[in-house]
Amino acid sequence: MTYAAGRHFLQIPGPTNVPDSVLRAMSAATIDHRGPEFAELGLELLRDIRPVFGTTGPVVLYPATGTGAWEAALVNTLSPGDRVLCFETGHFATLWQEMARGLGLEVDFVPGDWRHGANPEVVAEKLAADRAYTIKAVCVVHNETSTGVTSRIPEVRAAMDAAGHPALLLVDTISSLGSIDYRHDEWGVDVTVSGSQKGLMLPPGLSFNAISEKALAAAETARLPRSFWDWKPMLAANQRGFFPYTPNTNLLYGLKEALRLLYAEGLPNVFARHARHAAATRAAVRAWGLEVLCLDEREYSGSLTAVLVPDGVDADKVRALILDRFDMSLGAGLGKLAGRIFRIGHLGAFNDLTLAGTLSGVQMGLTLAGVPIEPRGVAAALEYLQDN
């Protein structure tokens, strides 16, 4: 049993490995959330969070995890009985539309095979067919954490524009923000939902809504009940760097440090790093003779790679063996993919040698679990890394 020594490999697609300097920043003493020192911190963060969303508009910070930000996006913009268009891209898209139903919305849920992103052509068809503009919002998960498939938001936007349809575009970037190129303003997104515990390299506990002018206008008339999630008192208090109720100050300290790290590296470098690690991972998967879940190369995820195991293999048993033998956590198959895949997270605070260690653990684990693979994946990944 060697697993007790050394550092755990947390290679689920989030929460991700939090940099030590972020953890240290979070351990500073909590300050008065109504005092001048806090106001300065608040104004700084509310300004500096914007570039990572690709927006110059407001971003609301919730002292809550990402599921809350899903709810916030819906309750601030929609009214009971409103119709929304959702796409079955995977487990989380399914949960989001369930939430929408539960909140009293009517959901048009376009079925999917969990191996593709939201289809822009279907967006076009659906909106074109909706002459009465009964669809009030199109909801898309940018990067499906359950599948490793990244939907093409610019093409979705283009389809909406082509249809001349006034629906809002709500996008979940929980596992893409800070890892995969994303542009709230340029892509015409109305509400971008996100969380702290993936590309932002923070522990879970903070979540976000980036909000367009159009979404702000919609909030004026939206009638779903809301209080904790209400943008209005948030945006009002944010003017002076404060929050309408107690913020989770210590995570805000962490956010300040995480943003510093991201901007020090440079967002284009961050995105390129993730794309490169994703490509190296796919090279490993193919060299093992296994299949990447994502079928469309335009939709490969920079954050995680979901790997199909051969028929008859229980992916969860492989994961358990890897956890036991090599002290590494991998992501499980969720929902209809349970036991069929495992997911390798390669996002956040991550580098070449940690990826090499990660893929080595997967390769040894697959071998020890008796899965028939070619033990050449690590070598293929190293070749990719050293050549690119």
Binding residues for substrate: 343
Q: What contacts 24+ positions apart, CB below 8 Å, involve 37-40?
A: 38/241, 38/242, 38/249, 39/240, 39/241, 39/242, 40/241
Q: How far is CA 268 from CA 132, 257, 274, in A?
A: 41, 18, 10
Give least dist CB 331 to a copy of itself, A. Answer: 8
Which one, of 356, 345, 333, 367, lies nearest residue 175 by Cα?
Answer: 345
Mapped onto helix, strand or coil, the DSSP state of residue 378 is helix
Give least dist CB 18 to a copy of itself, A. Answer: 5
Q: Which is nearer to a copy of itself, 119 or 249 (CB)?
A: 249
The CA angle 12-87-168, to the nearest 5 degrees, is 110
Q: Distance between CA atoms of 141 and 195, rounded to whole angstroms?
A: 13
**Could you identify the residue written with the tokens 């399914």?**
94
Q: Which is nearer to a copy of itself, 19 or 57 (CB)?
A: 19
Q: Which is nearer to a copy of itself, 38 or 187 (CB)?
A: 38
Q: Distance between CA atoms of 165 and 162, rounded to whole angstroms?
A: 8
Give least dist CB 89 to a copy of itself, A. Answer: 18
Known binding-site positions = 343
Q: Which is nearer to a copy of itself, 159 or 371 (CB)?
A: 371
Give least dist CB 130 to a copy of itself, A. Answer: 25
Q: Which is nearer to a copy of itself, 302 or 361 (CB)?
A: 361
Q: Which is nearer to a copy of itself, 10 or 158 (CB)?
A: 10
Give least dist CB 349 to a copy of itself, A. Answer: 5
Which one, of 205, 185, 180, 171, lies nearest residue 93 by Cα?
Answer: 171
Give least dist CB 253 to a copy of itself, A. Answer: 9
Phi, psi of 25 (to 5 degrees): -60, -40
Query: Residue 107 is inside which H or E element, if any?
Result: strand 106-110
The CA angle 315-319-322, to the nearest 5 degrees, is 140
Q: Which is nearer to a copy of itself, 160 or 262 (CB)?
A: 262
Q: How far is CA 7 from CA 10, 110, 327, 347, in A?
A: 9, 42, 8, 17
β-bridge mates for residue 210, sequence order: 59, 192
Which one, of 366, 280, 359, 269, lies nearest residue 317 by Cα?
Answer: 366
Give least dist CB 115 to a copy of itself, A. Answer: 22
